[in-house]
Amino acid sequence: MSARVCFLTSADMMKDRPGARTDWVEFDLEFGTLARACHDAGIALEHRVWDEAFEPSGFDGFMIGTVWDYPPKLALFLDTLDHLAGHGPVWNPPSVVRWNIEKTYLRAMEEAGAPSIPTLWRARADAAAIADGFALFETDRLVVKPLVGGGAWRQALVRKGEALPPPGDLPPGACLIQPFLPGVPEEGEYSLIFFGGEFSHALVKRPKAGDYRVQSMFGAREEVWTPGPGDLELARSVLDAAARLTGETDLLYARVDMVRGLDGQLALMELEVIEPYLYPEQGPDMGAVFARALQAKLSGGAISPKR
């Protein structure tokens, strides 16, 4: 093998570990797909648990993979990325991680012209903040999310006139409050995945009946989706806005998540450039596209994205 790259994951994504997540299979699917493609390209992709001691020397780079337990250990996570960056490049870079890790980046993206969901920002998810959300959005349902989190962690659906969820089910600190979007349970959430700026594949995630969460651990299902030219251009405009804001024009990976807004148009739900699941089952060519982007990173160059 011409290079060794470390794929960072979390202990709870290891199926043989105590406390393994119910969606541990997503690590197996994603890492297996990427590792096989890398092997064919002469790259050894090896996984390590991010918060367990391992020897970083000898790796030519570090990819932030399925590190899905980091929100309660945020300071350690960021320190670990900085430590690894002293041994080789980290993808995506720690500076981009810090920009993307708090959902306040969505406010900057809106200011940069990305189509956005109306959002109220508050220091805590208390009764007063929730009441402000109902008044501002004139709706009877709100979704409350922590500034740092993923996989619907500490996220809650709140209905007007009903008691708030228990504190342990609400964001632990600062939060964002958004109107509930009927398009999510009715239509789903669309994801477009890029490697090195090259489009790989897209899918729609549909929640199970009676739910709005689009993660498989909550019973959601995924289907291949073929975006139209306008959808692709919209996703690329999101990536362009992020490049202007971060100065990073060549991300190893990015997932643009969009939903149907209250105005009937697609809007940005999230730009995932830290540790998104990459949905290999919906992307038969994903491994090859990823390997090209990784080879370009290792060679110090950049691919010319296929439009």
Give the model's pLDDT for residue 230. 95
Give the model's pLDDT for residue 151. 66
Query: Which residue would you say has higher pLDDT here, 10 or 170?
Result: 10
Give the model's pLDDT for residue 234. 96
Q: Is 168 exposed, middle or buried (0-12, 13-18, 19+ CB in 10 A)?
A: exposed
Phi/psi class of residue 207: alpha, beta or left (left: φ > 0; alpha: ψ in -120 to 50)?
Answer: beta
- pLDDT band of 301, cuts 50, 70, 90: low
Give the model's pLDDT for residue 305. 47
In this structure, are residues 260 and 214 in contact, taking their beta carbons and an 8 Å threshold?
A: no
Domains, the chain, in order of start with CATH, read: 3-94 (3.40.50), 108-115+184-284 (3.30.470.20), 120-180 (3.30.1490)
What order of strands is seen across the sheet that includes strand 61-64? Answer: 43-49, 3-9, 61-64, 90-91
Give the model's pLDDT for residue 303. 46
Say whether pLDDT at 192 is over 60: yes
Q: Which residue has the tokens 């929100």?
A: 71
Q: In 10 A of CB 203, how many CB atoms?
A: 21
Say whether pLDDT at 172 is over 90: no
Question: What distance lies between CA 61 and its chain's CA centroid?
Answer: 20
Residue 138 dihedral angles phi and psi, to the nearest 5°: 50, 55
CA distances from 238 to 120, 206, 211, 261, 262 (A): 21, 22, 27, 16, 19
Say whether pLDDT at 291 is over 50: yes
pLDDT digits (tens, 9 = 90+) for 68-89: 999 889 999 999 999 999 999 9
**SS3 string of the chain?**
CCEEEEEEECHHHCCCCCCCCCCCHHHHHHHHHHHHHHHHCCEEEEEEECCCCCCCCCCCEEEECCCCCCHHHHHHHHHHHHHHHCCCCEECCHHHHHHHHCCCHHHHHHHCCCCECCCEEECCCCHHHHHHHHHHHCCCEEEEEECCCCCCCCCEEEECCCCCCCHHHCCCCCEEEEECCCHHHHHCEEEEEEECCEEEEEEEEECCCCCCCCCHHHCCEEEECCCCHHHHHHHHHHHHHHHHHHCCCCCCEEEEEEEECCCCCEEEEEEECCCCCCCHHHCCCHHHHHHHHHHHHHCCCCCCCCC
The token duo for 165 is: 């969820």
Task: Classify strands 198-206 and 221-224 as parallel, antiparallel or unpaired.
Answer: antiparallel
- pLDDT band of 209, cuts 50, 70, 90: confident
- In this structure, of 10-14, 56-60, 94-98, 147-151, the range with the lowest mean pLDDT score is 147-151
pLDDT digits (tens, 9 = 90+) for 106-131: 999 999 999 999 999 998 989 899 99
Percent of the chain with pLDDT over 90: 71
Average pLDDT, the chain: 91
Say whether pLDDT at 152 is over 70: no
